[in-house]
Structure 1
Amino acid sequence: MPWRPSRRREASAGDDQSSSTAPQPAGLLAMELSTVDYQALVRVIEHAQSCLEAHSDSDAATIRSAGGAELLPLLYPRAGLALARGVGNVPLLESEIRHVEAAVINLESYGGHETVLCEGYGLLRRLTELTTRAREAHVQDGVLTLSTPSQHAPCRHCH
């Protein structure tokens, strides 16, 4: 039996499991995270998650929410699509900044490493600046993107 990719994914505001021809939700504003900012975001959230797991008595769902970890499964497909298209930036919805804020606040509360905490506050400053350049996002093949729905990866062998 041939391998088929799983169609099961968690949906969120801005991620749609329908095809790229389906009606688009109106008013999705997203900013472009550079590779450096994307990597910082992942480090901050993963460190917050580990600090909360080590020092909090809360249940797993609360820790996941408080550490911002709910954001990562949404960003991974976006980063993959950006990479596949040769685009250097990953879309982040304005409404998703709250996950990064939660991670930074909990890093401070639960004794996160000072370097990661400083990186988190720097990231929040950059995200605040990036919100001034947010633009309309689109959902294509179930993944949030900032490119137009018809944009494809460039052909390196075509002239």
Structure 2
Amino acid sequence: MARSGDLELIVSLAAARRAEYEVHQPQFWRVAPRAKELHHAHLASLIVDDQWGSFVSEPFTGYVFARLVPAPPVYDPGGPSCFVDDFAVTSARLWLTDGKALLDAAARWGAARGAAQLVVVNGQHDALQAELLAAYGLSIASTWSAGSLPQIPAQH
């Protein structure tokens, strides 16, 4: 489990990951002003919230935050989803080792609370994380497309 003493490392790694993601999709992943400060406060509240599973590797090479979420009422996966809301490793080469260990921790946490499925967000450019997710037996359930409204072409 993550502890308050892990926050500085988590927040710094999350900031680096946001900057990387913003390069690949600058509209959707645009870093907000004060993002690091806001994320610190948010994660500090999650670490002490028993509705969240928060895990770090020892020694620190990454982290994962997960929570249970209900499926939309029109779908029935057999129970709630263990939704991995925030997940990063310090180097892409660690996804298949340290990343897997973190995902194992989140999956065990969710399964112990009755989750029927694991849902993980992955940026399209993040090929090594996608490799981990595929090796873990996960498949793409959806993709999101984003663009600013002024860029959307007018209909004739």
TM-score by length of 1: 0.33
Q: Which has the higher strand share?
A: 2
Q: Which has the higher contact order (CA 8 A, sep 6+)?
A: 1
